[in-house]
Amino acid sequence: MWLVAAMLSWSVRAFQQQVGRGRGGRRGLVLRAYDHAGIEARWQAYWDAEGTFKAPAKPSEKKKYVLDMFPYPSGSGLHVGHPAGYTASDVMARYWRMQGFEVLHPMGWDAFGLPAEQHAVETGQHPRKTTKENIATFKRQLKALGFSYDWERELSTTDAEYVKWTQWIFLRLFEMGLAEQKEVAVNWCPALGTVLANEEVINGLSERGNHPVVRQPLRQWVLKITEFADELLSARDLDWPAGTLRSQREWIGKSRGARVQFGPLEVFTTRPDTLFGATFVAIAPEHPLAEELCERGDKLEELEEYRERVSRMSDMDRQLGGGGKTGFATGSFVPHPLMPDEAELPVWVADYVFSGVGTGAVMGVPAHDARDFEFATLFDLPVKRVVEGGDLPFSEPGTCVGSGLEFDGLETEECKARVIEKLESLGKGSAATTYKLRDWVFSRQRYWGEPIPIYFPVVSKSTGEPLESSQELVDYDIKYDQPIPLADSELPLELPEVDDFSPGDDPRGCLARATDWRFFAKNGNWYARETNTMPQWAGSCWYYVRFADPRNPDALVSPQAERWLPVDLYVGGSEHAVLHLLYARFWHKVLFEIGVVSSPEPFSKLVHQGMILGADGEKMSKSRGNVVNPDEVVEASGADALRLYEMFMGPLDAVKPWQTDQVAGVVRFRDRAFAACERAVDDAPLHPDTLSILHKTMRKVTLDIEALAFNTAISALMVLVNHLQTLDRVPKLAAEKLALMLSPFAPHLAEECWSKLGHDPSVAHHPWVRWDDALCLDATITLPIQVNGKVRAKLQLPPDAPEADVKRLALQDPSIAKFLTADTDLKKFIYVPGRIVNLVVSTS
């Protein structure tokens, strides 16, 4: 036992000596270990008690609004991938406060939606209860990480006051004619009892639960996002990732071209110059003339079978065609508009053609369109080249061929114009613009969502007259064609209390069974409420606006609080490029149009953090068993260590694998930084080398933070800490600057160091560091000297050395002088200040 005790004692002494010992054998003080748990709990309590991060009700001119895409509070809580974006936004919020900005940095919960309701169906527990429990877990985890949120502005999309204003926006959309009912083909999942977005359907199955999904027509509320297509395409002033803007442009899909008549069928094409290369016409399975064309070709039974098969495919499956394109010939033919005397073109039904895009019919030009080429190859249809160029299918501009004397030899753009002129003169077509973007299906046949604030008259089925008593509700019709909006004073319309959350197989949804809520009398007549609810996207469309004024009972946002907008920095995942981000821009433009907001765009700068993968390089998920809980990391190493590690792993937008064993490296850095601050003394001299390193670090950390290059900013801080370790006595000024620079990344550590250095808390609003550019210059630089492009010598010079001195010293260098003899001629002396010297020498 004595041996074990002796070895343990020796290990402790060795550790203490190592903590106090810098490089080069210098000795410092023996210091206590860093108590991350106690220190972090103490400063978090201080921030809460003092309201350190509370934003003012209205901002001054110098403001910054920093926002995360707020989370859906699932039952599993956070994993270590989630805090990456939250930490990045918090770094910027803390940095900007120290730069003198008033900062709004809020957090809330996107809490309606299918997962909570499915849990309610499976357990019988009200989704409100599970949502509240999940929010408590998320909030505890976020607070443990020391994020500088203004928690007084916390909100949930399920709060009655929030629902009120979501419904208020819907009513404005309804008044403007932007919200209307349509019967549209939707992705209907009988097992989940709801409509699903295209993105929620994978290979004909629901993303959640893998249930079969079919396409069928349903009465739906739709929002006319298409009316804002051109405004959504205009994004010149947005500092967004190029890929996200490109995705939105492609999703909107503006196309200029022509509408062309092939007999009874009107097609849209962006390449009217290729009209003479058309060898077939393809229509969507849902096209209104499909029955007539198939009846003419005796293919009605095949059409019915094909439609049933296609109904199990999502639009995305059809568009991407992962399993190959499908279709069949209708047996009907249509004439070519400019070649009516030649053989007519066969009409096909094809899954890659959509009824809601263009006209629901396309001209098949296999030689110059990849989708048409694939389809023609599959079904052995003719391929006719009419544009000179590369290998088929050739879709680039070129010279028109094989289209008759009138058009042959024309370049693509001129040919397009001439073909359109010809079609218009014959009454066979016209110039046109179309969009891939379709109106937003806004109905969900589920319980856990915002009720749509619309009701309808109820009439007697036999007489058509309004019902006057509840006894007549056994024989009634609902006049869905006469929607009536709730008055603003009647908001919020809240969900009824129900015992059964299952949707059943009724496409009207769960709320159709809540008859006491659904039917009501008003002014002697009976009415029925809308039983569809809004999708989860509704609440997330505008939450950033409400954060500016979350407790206002009288307005969505006051003009004074609205001055926080637009959001200066928005951080979140790239997976929301064409859903949340597009929908939010749409709603914001509506609010701009009615004068609620004064900016035309919601988010000035957008940043996508890269995904943090599991240690196995795969996406973190329970099924893979690679999820790491941040609670475990915080308990073992501390919140600052987690924050530092996630920012140090690599560039913010890069995909990175989590490696728990690498956290130890930032823990050592944290402990050394704390040790340096504890050793700081007032009278320690600030030597020129230390002063230079300090100012270089302040400049680099500042510029790197501005560029969101957090990993290299932390690297610079590590270099500074390593230098301070080598000093016998750490200057207090250097330690103070270190603490200030640590604050955005490791706020608990920074507060503790600041306090240890004798300052009153908190460092959070202390002015940021300033550097002197003159002190960032190296005393000397190494200047390579080339002769005819090859380095032959190097000079040590001041960085601002005059060119005459540089030339004199270069020519005197023995390694250079040997190239300058009586047999050579110095043709040119090239000097790039601070970079290089090149002598161009030729032989006489």
pLDDT in tens, 767-784: 999 999 989 887 778 899
Question: Beta-carbon neighbour count of residue 371 at 10 Å?
Answer: 18
- Is 80 exceeded by the pLDDT of residue 18? no
Mean pLDDT of 712-740: 97
- Whether 670 and 718 have beta carbons less than 8 Å apart is answered as no
Mean pLDDT of 402-409: 95
Residue 235's pLDDT band (cuts 50, 70, 90): confident
* DSSP labels, 680-719: EETT----HHHHHHHHHHHHHHHHHHHTT-HHHHHHHHHH
- Is 50 exceeded by the pLDDT of residue 106? yes
Going by the DSSP 8-state scheme, the letter that residue 575 receives in this structure is G
Q: Strand, helix or coil at 671?
A: helix
- Whether 201 and 213 have beta carbons less than 8 Å apart is answered as yes
- Whether 224 and 178 have beta carbons less than 8 Å apart is answered as yes
Q: Note the pLDDT tens digit of each residue in 580-591.
A: 999 999 999 999
Question: What percent of the chain lies above the pLDDT cut of 70?
Answer: 94
Phi, psi of 33 (to 5 degrees): -70, 155
pLDDT at position 22 is 36
pLDDT at position 31 is 52
DSSP-based helix, strand, coil % in the chain, nearest 5: 40, 20, 40
- Whether 252 and 229 have beta carbons less than 8 Å apart is answered as yes
Residue 21's pLDDT band (cuts 50, 70, 90): very low
Question: Beta-carbon neighbour count of residue 132 at 10 Å?
Answer: 15
pLDDT at position 741 is 98
pLDDT at position 118 is 81
pTM listed for this prediction = 0.84
pLDDT at position 844 is 66
- Is 70 exceeded by the pLDDT of residue 12? no
User: Which residues are paired to 705 by β-bridges?
Assistant: none
- Is 80 exceeded by the pLDDT of residue 506? no
- Is 50 exceeded by the pLDDT of residue 221? yes
Mean pLDDT of 814-834: 90
Q: Note the pLDDT tens digit of each residue in 261-304.
A: 999 999 999 999 999 999 999 999 999 999 999 999 999 999 99
Mean pLDDT of 676-699: 94
Q: Note the pLDDT tens digit of each residue in 84-95.
A: 999 999 999 999
Mean pLDDT of 727-744: 97
Highest-pLDDT range among 110-119, 570-579, 616-625: 570-579
pLDDT at position 19 is 37
Q: Which amino acid is at 33?
A: A
- Is 80 exceeded by the pLDDT of residue 466? yes
Q: What is the average pLDDT score of the chain?
A: 91
Residue among 451, 444, 499 nearest 193 (CA):
444
- Is 90 exceeded by the pLDDT of residue 71? yes
Mean pLDDT of 319-339: 87
- Is 90 exceeded by the pLDDT of residue 236? no
pLDDT at position 8 is 34
pLDDT at position 13 is 35
- Whether 218 and 184 have beta carbons less than 8 Å apart is answered as yes
- State the Cα–Cα distance between residues 351 and 319, nearest whole angstrom: 8
- Is 80 exceeded by the pLDDT of residue 9? no
- Whether 57 and 561 have beta carbons less than 8 Å apart is answered as yes
Structure tokens at 403: 């289209």
Q: Note the pLDDT tens digit of each residue in 748-807.
A: 999 999 999 999 999 999 999 999 998 988 777 889 999 999 999 999 888 888 999 999
Mean pLDDT of 473-490: 92
- State the Cα–Cα distance between residues 479 and 507, nearest whole angstrom: 17
pLDDT at position 778 is 77
- Is 60 exceeded by the pLDDT of residue 4? no
**DSSP strand pairing (612-613 vs 656-657):** parallel
Going by the DSSP 8-state scheme, the letter that residue 526 receives in this structure is E
Residue 2's pLDDT band (cuts 50, 70, 90): very low
- Is 50 exceeded by the pLDDT of residue 26? no
Q: Which amino acid is at 679?
A: R
Structure tokens at 642: 């987690």
User: Which residues are paired to 400 by β-bridges?
Assistant: 387
Give the lowest-confidence range in 137-141, 234-238, 298-302: 234-238
**DSSP strand pairing (205-206 vs 201-202):** antiparallel
pLDDT at position 472 is 66
Q: Note the pLDDT tens digit of each residue in 437-452.
A: 989 989 988 899 999 9
